């Protein structure tokens, strides 16, 4: 017998796993369930999820209807960033900055401050209403009184892109909610006003202290300035300096003019002193001399005429000559007088020049002396003026602060007072139901997926290749125990009909029909995938008892015999034999006799009544020696039987915990591992597959037994089988 068989090829996976759900990647082996599986899980638990959602909706409806209605009232605060902070001074002209977000955030914090909320909370007894300290019973009344107040039902918000602040308060009493919101708004305005008053008072107190020091400093600097002026004997040295400067300039001008006058007078004096008649004429006294000379010239002309007409002895001549002599005497006298006057003027100009020179020298010395001390005076004057200016400015600031402090700032005002609400804002039944619907749906779906992921059993055919790295060669649906395990066999043994008649009677029920179709699909998956026809012996085993391997072996043998193929069913479970009981046949002689006593195996083979192509080799009487003789004896038996039978099916004990299934697995051509959907642990199935891999046994695949609608998506196909057969019966009845 050739046992070096190949696993089913890749292109045969569809035929090997006929129940593979569409849309799932069959070659994926990453162990992660596909998305379609999660959808199937949701469909599987849809009624549970819907029940959970309905229960949550009902609970939400009941709880919401029993909740105390809460009303909300909102007061609107308008903050004008362009309004001045004061009525006079810099505060009146100061414009708002670009810190609107920071400013409004600061105002929100101020509204939530204890100084704003405490008066309102005490007035309306909000702490008792909200039971703020109910979870701190160890606090004393004094501690409660001094603890910061935080109103849970208060909400302060700012609508985006606005300078508005919304003060909202919730309460079961709509009028109380409106009153508290308005009271908090007014308390906030009063608190802001008090802050400005206290700030101005503190500033005024500080400035008054500084004012005393500035006043003393100003008086000291003013006293030093007055003392300096008294030392200079002037009221204003600057004005004195200006007078001296103008006087010095004037003296310099006069001195220069005196020098020029003295030079001209000196020149005239020198000319007159030299006897020059022309110099006397050009002097300041030459006008009279000029007139005398003009008169002398006229008399000379007249004397010449008289001398020419009358002669020297004529009285007219003498008269004219006397006049000529008188004019000459007057001219001499005028010349002498001019010389004396020129000399006198010269001396006077010299004296005046000297006097102006002394005056210029004295004035310049006085100016230089005063100018030298003016720097000290300017320093004292600047100090005195600076102290006075700071003092006056501080006095002005104090007055402005006092006036602005009493000014009620209009930049923060109540734009809309809160009014009692007509409808409660809580509970919102529609919103609560919607939220409950969404949350319950999500929670139900998550719980279903999580519970499915926590299920560590072999359950779904599409997950077996991913988790166990093995092919699913068949899935058998769950039917009633008596039908799944005994009905086909009892029918065959009870009335003596052939295989086809027995299967037909067994499959009259649609569910049993689905089971029979699944067995036929399993038989075809095993044999049709064997293109070389090398599989003549099959071992049916499982990880633990109760997986349904014996039932599957019996039905698989019957199905193969129904194809008119000679089939031998060997009961290899000598500890708990069951095949002979299923077919209501004696089990006194069987495999244990063949292995222990050397009985020819053909003598132990039984043929059910009416089944020409189906034989059974029971397990025989229980024996502790037979399992030790399993190796060589079973191999020889299978070699001989394979020459007479088309297929040999060996029902073996569970693989985990028993030794003989290991020898059986090495003796047969192929091994089929049966698992129970939703019951067999993955670790157990993986252990079985690992043991078979180490033995180098030809594992044909895994059979998923008792597949239910709530354990596998493959159950979808069996439902269609039932519908299909019902429709077929209906068509026959109509015909």
Per-residue pLDDT tens over the stretch 321-356: 787 787 787 777 777 777 777 778 878 888 888 888
Task: Please identify which residue in the block is written with the tokens 């909740």.
Answer: 67
- Specify the higher pLDDT residue, 324 or 145: 324
Rg (CA), the chain: 69
Residues 401 and 487 in one domain: no
Asked if residue 387 and residue 256 are part of one domain, the reply reads: yes
How far are the Cα atoms of 284, 296, 298, 497 from residue 291, in angstroms, in the given order? 14, 9, 11, 197
- Looking at the fold, whether 584 and 725 belong to one and the same domain comes out as yes
Supply φ then ψ for residue 541, to 5 degrees: -140, 175
Give the bridge partners for 426, in sequence order: 70
Query: What one-character-per-residue DSSP string does 70-137 give?
Result: BEEEEEEEEE-TTS-S-SSSHHHHPPP-S-HHHHHHHHHHHHTSHHHHHHHHHHHTHHHHHTTTTT-T
Taking residues 515-536, report their average pLDDT.
79
Instruction: Determine which helix (DSSP H) or strand (DSSP E) holds 165, and give its type and residue range.
Output: strand 164-171
Determine the Cα–Cα distance for residues 214 and 655; give it in Å rounded to an integer.
108
Please check whether residue 564 is in contact with residue 503, taking contact to mean a CB–CB distance below 8 angstroms. Answer: no
Rounded distance, CA 329 to CA 331, Å?
5
Cβ atoms of residues 655 and 684 within 8 Å: no
Does residue 370 register a pLDDT over 70? no
Do 557 and 700 lie in a common domain?
yes
Residues 6+ apart with CB under 8 A from 222: 384, 387, 388
Mean pLDDT in the chain?
A: 76
| Residue 70 belongs to some domain of the structure | no
User: What are 544's two structure tokens?
Assistant: 């633990």
Last residue of a domain, one of 405, 436, 451: 405
Quick check: 629 pLDDT over 70?
yes
Share of the chain above pLDDT 70, in %: 73
What's the pLDDT band for 567 if we cut at 50, 70, 90?
very high
Strand order, beta sheet including 472-477: 472-477, 699-707, 670-676, 537-542, 647-651, 567-571, 614-617
pLDDT-derived band at 720 (thresholds 50, 70, 90) equals low
Judge whether residue 166 has pLDDT over 90.
yes
- My answer on whether omega of the bond before 209 falls inside 30° of 0, hence cis, is no
Environment class of residue 264 by beta-carbon count within 10 Å: exposed (0-12), middle (13-18) or buried (19+)? middle
Separation of first and last alpha carbons in the chain: 52
Q: Which of 346, 372, 405 is the last residue of a domain?
A: 405
When mean pLDDT is compared across 369-373, 416-420, 634-638, 668-672, the lowest value belongs to: 369-373
Q: Does position 433 have pLDDT exceeding 70, yes or no?
A: yes
How far is residue 490's CA from residue 502's CA, in Å, rounded to a whole number?
Answer: 9
CA dihedral 101, 107, 111, 113 (to 10 degrees): 100
The reply to whether omega before 427 is within 30° of 0 (cis) is: yes
- Residues 186 and 180: their CA atoms lie apart, in Å, by 10
Instruction: Give the pLDDT of residue 28.
Output: 39
Put residue 584 in one of left, alpha, beta given phi > 0 → left and psi -120 to 50 → alpha: left
How far is the C-alpha of 208 from the C-alpha of 398, rounded, in Å? 8
Our CA angle for 70, 75, 78, nearest 5°, is 155
**Which range is most confident: 27-36, 74-83, 125-134, 687-696?**
687-696
Residues 395 and 517 in one domain: no
Q: What is the structure's pLDDT at 180? A: 93
Inter-CA distances, 304 with 299, 311, 317, 333, 574, Å? 8, 10, 9, 24, 207
The rounded distance, in Å, linking the Cα atoms of 6 and 465 is 18
Same domain, yes or no, for 585 and 707? yes
**Do 597 and 713 reside in the same domain of the chain?**
yes
The band of 502, judged by pLDDT with boundaries at 50, 70 and 90, is: very low
**CA 331 vs CA 32, 167, 265, 323: distances in Å:** 156, 123, 22, 12
Q: What would the pLDDT profile of 280-318 be if each residue is shown by its tens digit?
A: 555 555 666 677 777 777 777 777 777 777 767 777 777
Strand order in 71-79's β-sheet? 154-157, 164-171, 71-79, 412-416
Q: For residue 132, what are the CA distances in angstroms to 128, 171, 513? A: 7, 14, 71
Higher pLDDT pick, 233 / 265? 265
Residue 349's φ and ψ, nearest 5 degrees, are -65, -35
Distance CA 375, CA 382 (A): 11
The DSSP line for 657-676 is: T-SHHHHHHHHSSEEEEEEE
Give the lowest-confidence range in 111-120, 370-379, 487-496, 661-670.
487-496
- CATH number of the domain encompassing residue 521: 3.40.50.300
**Is there a single domain that holds both residue 357 and residue 504?**
no
pLDDT band at 1 (very low <50, low <70, confident <90, very high): very low
**Residue partners of 233: CB distance under 8 A and separation at least 6:** none
Domain boundary among 347, 372, 405: 405
DSSP 622: -
CA dist., res. 32 & res. 29, Å (int): 8
Q: For 125-140, what is the mean pLDDT?
A: 63
Task: Specify whether the CB–CB gap between 88 and 398 falls below 8 A.
Answer: no
Query: Is 447 within a domain?
Result: no
Identify whether the C-beta of residue 158 lies closer than 8 Å to the C-beta of residue 166. Answer: yes
Residue 667 has pLDDT above 80, yes or no: yes
pLDDT in tens, 213-232: 777 877 787 877 777 766 66
Domain with 399 in it: 237-405
Give CA separation, 241 vs 237, 373, 476, in Å.
Answer: 6, 11, 129
Judge if 393 and 482 occupy the same domain: no
Task: Report pLDDT for 187.
Answer: 92
* Three-state SS at 623: coil
Q: Give the total number of structural domains in the chain.
A: 2
Q: Are strands 71-79 and 164-171 parallel, antiparallel or unpaired?
A: antiparallel
Q: Six-digit token pair at 660?
A: 């003989």
How far, in Å, CA of 113 to CA of 118, rounded?
Answer: 9
Residue 149 in contact with residue 404, Cβ under 8 Å? no
Residue 55, in any domain of the structure: no
The token duo for 210 is: 């500084």
Note if the pTM is more than 0.85: no
> What sign does the CA torsion over 231, 234, 238, 240 have?
negative
Task: Say yes or no to pLDDT of 419 above 90.
Answer: yes
Tell me the pLDDT band of 506, cut-offs 50, 70 and 90: very low
Q: Which residues pair with 412 in a beta bridge?
A: 79
Alpha helices by DSSP H, 619-709: 630-641, 660-667, 682-694
Residue 633 lies in a domain: yes
625 and 483 together in one domain: yes
In a shared domain, residues 530 and 642: yes
Specify the pLDDT at position 482: 38
Tokens of 209: 């202290």
| 457 located within any domain | no
pLDDT tens digits along 455-494: 777 777 777 777 788 888 888 887 764 344 444 444 443 3
Residue 421 included in any domain: no
- Residue 397: give its domain's CATH number: 1.10.287
pLDDT at 76: 94
C-alpha to C-alpha distance for 488 and 497, rounded to whole angstroms: 12
**Residue 548 CA from chain centroid, whole number:** 58
Is residue 251 located within the same domain as residue 393? Answer: yes
**Rounded percentage of the chain residues whose pLDDT exceeds 90:** 12
C-alpha to C-alpha distance for 641 and 633, rounded to whole angstroms: 12
**Contact, 718 vs 465, CB < 8 A?**
no
Instruction: Report if residue 501 sits inside a domain.
Output: yes
Alpha carbons 299 and 320: distance in angstroms, whole number: 7
Residue 94 lies in a domain: no
**Residue 222: what pLDDT?**
80
Burial class (CB in 10 A: 0-12, 13-18, 19+), 231: exposed
């Amino acid at each position: 017998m050739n046992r070096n068989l190949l696993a089913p090829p890749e292109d045969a996976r569809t035929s090997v796993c006929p129940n593979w759900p569409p849309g799932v990647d069959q070659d994926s082996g990453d162990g992660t369930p596909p998305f379609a599986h999660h959808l199937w899980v949701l469909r599987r638990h849809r009624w549970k999820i819907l029940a959970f959602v309905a229960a949550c909706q009902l609970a939400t409806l009941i709880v919401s209807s029993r909740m105390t209605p809460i009303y909300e009232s909102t007061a609107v605060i308008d903050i004008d960033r362009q309004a001045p902070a004061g009525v006079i001074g810099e505060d009146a002209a100061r414009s708002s900055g670009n810190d609107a977000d920071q400013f409004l955030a600061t105002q929100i914090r101020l509204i939530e401050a204890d100084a704003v909320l405490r008066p309102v909370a005490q007035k309306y007894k909000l702490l008792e209403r909200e039971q703020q300290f109910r979870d701190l019973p160890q606090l004393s009344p004094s501690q409660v009184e001094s603890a910061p107040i935080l109103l849970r039902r208060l909400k302060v918000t700012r609508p985006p892109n606005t300078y508005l602040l919304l003060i909202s308060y919730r309460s079961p009493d709509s009028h109380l909610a409106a009153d508290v919101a308005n009271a908090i708004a007014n308390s906030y305005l009063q608190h802001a006003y008090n802050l400005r008053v206290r700030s101005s008072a503190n500033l005024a107190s500080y400035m008054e202290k500084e004012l005393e020091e500035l006043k003393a400093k100003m008086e000291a600097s003013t006293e030093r300035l007055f003392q300096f002026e008294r030392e200079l004997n002037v009221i204003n040295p600057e004005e004195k300096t200006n007078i001296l400067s103008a006087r010095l300039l004037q003296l310099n001008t006069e001195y220069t003019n005196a020098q020029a006058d003295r030079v001209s007078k000196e020149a005239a004096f020198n000319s007159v002193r030299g006897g020059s008649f022309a110099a006397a004429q050009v002097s300041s006294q030459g006008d009279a001399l000029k007139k005398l000379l003009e008169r002398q010239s006229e008399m000379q002309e007249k004397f010449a005429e008289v001398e020419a007409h009358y002669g020297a002895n004529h009285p007219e001549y003498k008269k004219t000559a006397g006049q000529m002599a008188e004019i000459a005497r007057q001219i001499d006298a005028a010349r002498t007088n001019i010389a004396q006057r020129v000399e006198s003027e010269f001396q006077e100009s010299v004296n005046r020049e000297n006097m102006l020179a002394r005056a210029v020298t004295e004035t310049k010395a006085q100016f230089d002396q005063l100018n030298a001390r003016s720097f000290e005076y300017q320093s004292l004057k600047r100090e005195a003026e600076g102290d006075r200016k700071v003092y006056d400015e501080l006095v002005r600031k104090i007055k402005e602060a006092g006036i602005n402090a009493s000014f009620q700032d209009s930049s923060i005002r109540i734009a809309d007072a809160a009014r009692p609400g007509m409808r409660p804002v809580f509970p919102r039944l529609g919103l609560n139901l919607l939220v409950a619907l969404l949350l319950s749906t999500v929670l139900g779906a998550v719980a279903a997926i999580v519970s499915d992921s926590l299920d560590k059993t072999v359950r779904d055919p599409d997950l077996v290749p991913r988790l166990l790295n093995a092919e699913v060669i068949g899935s058998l649906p769950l039917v009633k125990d008596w039908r799944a395990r005994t009905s086909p066999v009892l029918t065959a043994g009870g009335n003596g009909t052939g295989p086809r008649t027995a299967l037909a009677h067994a499959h009259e029920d649609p569910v049993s029909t689905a089971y029979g179709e699944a067995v036929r699909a399993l038989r075809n998956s095993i044999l049709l995938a064997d293109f070389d026809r090398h599989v003549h012996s099959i071992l049916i085993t499982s990880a633990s008892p109760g997986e349904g391997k014996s039932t599957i072996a019996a039905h698989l043998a019957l199905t193969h015999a129904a194809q008119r193929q000679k089939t031998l069913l060997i009961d290899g479970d000598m500890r708990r034999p069951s095949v002979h009981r299923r077919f209501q046949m004696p089990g006194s002689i069987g495999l244990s006799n063949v292995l222990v006593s050397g009985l020819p195996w053909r003598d132990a083979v039984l043929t059910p009544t009416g089944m020409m192509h189906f034989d059974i080799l029971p397990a025989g009487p229980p024996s502790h020696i037979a399992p030790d003789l399993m190796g060589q004896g079973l191999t020889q038996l299978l070699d001989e039987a394979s020459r007479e039978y088309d297929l040999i099916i060996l029902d073996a004990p569970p693989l985990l915990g028993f030794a003989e299934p290991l020898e059986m697995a090495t003796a047969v051509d192929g091994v089929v591992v049966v698992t129970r959907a939703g019951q067999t642990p993955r670790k157990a199935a993986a252990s079985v597959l690992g043991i078979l891999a180490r033995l180098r046994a030809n594992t044909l695949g895994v059979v998923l037994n008792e597949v239910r609608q709530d354990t596998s998506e493959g159950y979808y196909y069996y439902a269609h089988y039932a519908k299909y057969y019902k429709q077929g019966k209906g068509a026959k009845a109509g015909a």
